[in-house]
Amino acid sequence: MYVAPSILSADFGNLAAEIRAICEAGCDLVHVDVMDGHFVVNAVAKAATKPLDIHLMVENNSFFADLFLPLKPKFLTFHIEEEKHPLRLIDHIRKNGVGPGIVLNPHTPVSAIEHIIDEVDIVLLMSVNPGFGGQKFMPVVLEKTRALRELIERKNAKCLIEVDGGINGLNAPDLEEAGADILVAGNHIFSSNSYEQAIRAIKLEF
C-alpha cells in the first residue's frame, strides 16, 4: 500500500517543514489539492523529496494542467465531472511526460469512465465530498473500489486505484482488500503525534 499525505491538512504557516517531515516519515507521494491559485504547489514542489500527486479541483483543467506540468508531478488528475474533452487532456498530460488520471466524486458511477479506463495511469475515487478536510469516510466507496478493480481487470488496463477522504489505519485494510493501491490521508497524518506511525498504520506496517 502506498500513502500520499494530503497537504490540505498541513500547517500552512510552516508548510516547508511539514512537507519535509512527511517525506522523512516514509510517505510515497505528496498529494496536492488544487482549488485556486498555484503558489502553494510551487512551494510544495521546492520542499518535497517525494513525487507530487496533483489533484485538480477546478473548472479550467487545461489552464491549470499547463501551470503544473513543468513541475513534472508523478500524477496529474482531474475530475471527469468538470471536463468536456477528457481524452484530449489525457493525451496532453501524457505527452508532457506526466501520468494522467481521472477523479470520480462519491456519487459518480464507475461506468462513467469505462470508455477511457485504459487511457489513464490512475483513477482517484473520492470517499468524501471534495473541498475540505476532516470528513468521515463514505463506506459506499468500498464497493465502488471493488467495481473499479473488476473493470480494470476486465479491460486489462494498467492503472492504479487511489482513494481520498477520511482515510485512517482502521479502514485501510478494507480498502486494500477492495483493491486500492494508494491511499490519501490528511487529517489522520497531520493531526497525529507521529507522522511516521500514522503513515505506517495506513501502510499496514505494524
Q: What is the pLDDT along the chain (206 residues), one digit of tens a residue?
A: 999 999 988 998 899 999 999 999 999 999 999 876 556 788 888 999 999 999 999 889 999 999 999 999 999 999 999 899 999 999 999 999 999 999 999 999 999 999 999 999 999 999 998 766 667 899 999 999 999 999 999 999 999 999 999 999 999 999 999 999 999 999 999 999 999 999 999 998 75
CB atoms within 10 A of CB 12: 11
Q: What is the pLDDT of residue 130?
A: 73
Strands 2-5 and 99-104, by their bridges, are unpaired
**Residue from 22, 133, 29 nearest 75 by CA:** 29
Cβ-proximal residues to 187 (8 Å cutoff; 6+ apart), any chain: 9, 133, 134
Report which DSSP code applies to 84: S
Q: Model-level pTM?
A: 0.93
Distance between CA atoms of residues 128 and 138, nearest Å:
6
Q: What is the pLDDT of residue 206?
A: 59
Distance between CA atoms of residues 15 and 152, nearest Å:
36
Q: How far apart are the first and last CA of the chain?
A: 13
Contact 202, 172 (CB under 8 A): yes
Query: Rg of the Cα trace of the chain?
Result: 16
What is residue 60's three-state secondary structure?
A: coil
Distance between CA atoms of residues 175 and 8, nearest Å:
21
Catalytic annotation, residues: 33, 164
